[in-house]
Amino acid sequence: MTLLETIVIAFWAMLPAYVPNNAAVLAGGGRPIDGGRTWGDKRVLGDGKTWRGTAAGIVAGLALAGFLTLFAADVSAATGIDVPEFTPRAALGLAAGAMLGDILASFLKRRSGRQRGAMFPGLDQLDFVVVSLPLTALLASEWFFDVFTWEVVAVVVVLTPILHVTTNMIAYKLGLKNEPW
Ligand code: CTP
Ligand code: MG
Ligand code: K
């Protein structure tokens, strides 16, 4: 497989994990998941993790996986690059795993004294990969190990922070996000 093919497959396979964060930013608001509760003198998660944002993120990831699955065969035929279809379990692992990773990251940010919106370099860019890939491996093992070869995983680890920084900068410039990270 060429590097370009690996990059296309990595991007395609990760789209259902990439889009939930952006959907959550657009849909966020309302009741925070932690209900305002604190642990010690700090919030458990903070106002940046809401039920509505989380639900919208997961639904957006699932919908995108369904959409990509409809077109996978045509895209593969047209490009000669064998992009995968998503099984329901794979889609759920990627979408829910991305949201869960983001929530766990906020939990860690609050424990380390960071206020809502504070940056945590490294964690901000890779939190959703760290949870979505293992969750997908658990929920859809056969699919996961078929698609996520070591080469694909390596590309994901390099590509994700670049995409994350770029999309968040765009969302910030458009006034959709409070901080550019
Ligand atoms: N958001 C949400 N629910 C989520 C994730 C995000 O409602 N599960 C919305 C919130 O409005 C949040 C915005 O998307 O403020 C940006 O997301 P993020 O950068 O992850 O949250 P922060 O506000 O920066 O909070 P934290 O410091 O906890 O990451
Ligand atoms: Mg943030
Ligand atoms: K985040």
Q: pLDDT digit string (tens) for 131-177?
A: 999 999 999 999 999 999 999 999 999 999 999 999 999 999 999 99
Is ipTM strictly over 0.85? yes
Residue span of the structural domain in which 50 resides: 3-173
Give me the DSSP letters along 60-105. Answer: HHHHHHHHHHHHHHHHHHHHS--PPP--HHHHHHHHHHHHHHHHHH
Please indicate, yes or no, if residue 28 is contained in any of the structural domains: yes
Please indicate, yes or no, if residue 178 is contained in any of the structural domains: no
State residue 119 phi and psi, 5-degree precision. Answer: -90, 155
Please indicate, yes or no, if residue 181 is contained in any of the structural domains: no
- pLDDT at 6 (0 to 100): 98
Residue 10's pLDDT band (cuts 50, 70, 90): very high
Ligand 1 atom nearest to CA at 45: 28
Give how many domains the chain has, as a whole number. Answer: 1
- pLDDT at 152 (0 to 100): 98
Cβ–ligand 1 contact at 25 (below 6 Å): yes
Tokens of 90: 């794979």
Cβ–ligand 1 contact at 159 (below 6 Å): no
Tokens 């370099």 appear where?
Answer: 121
Cβ–ligand 1 contact at 61 (below 6 Å): no
User: pLDDT per residue over 40-90, tens digit each?
Assistant: 999 999 999 999 999 999 999 999 999 999 999 999 999 999 999 999 999
Q: What distance in Å separates the CA atoms of residue 102 and residue 67, rounded to the nearest whole number?
A: 24
**117: helix, coil or strand?**
coil
Are 126 and 17 spatial neighbours (Cβ–Cβ below 8 Å)?
no
Please indicate, yes or no, if residue 179 is contained in any of the structural domains: no
Please indicate, yes or no, if residue 180 is contained in any of the structural domains: no
Top mutation candidate among 43, 47, 50 for ligand 1, by most atoms within 8 Å of CB: 50
Residue 91's pLDDT band (cuts 50, 70, 90): very high
Are 6 and 81 spatial neighbours (Cβ–Cβ below 8 Å)?
no
**32: helix, coil or strand?**
strand
Please indicate, yes or no, if residue 47 is contained in any of the structural domains: yes
CA of 85 from ligand 2 middle (Å) equals: 31
Please indicate, yes or no, if residue 133 is contained in any of the structural domains: yes
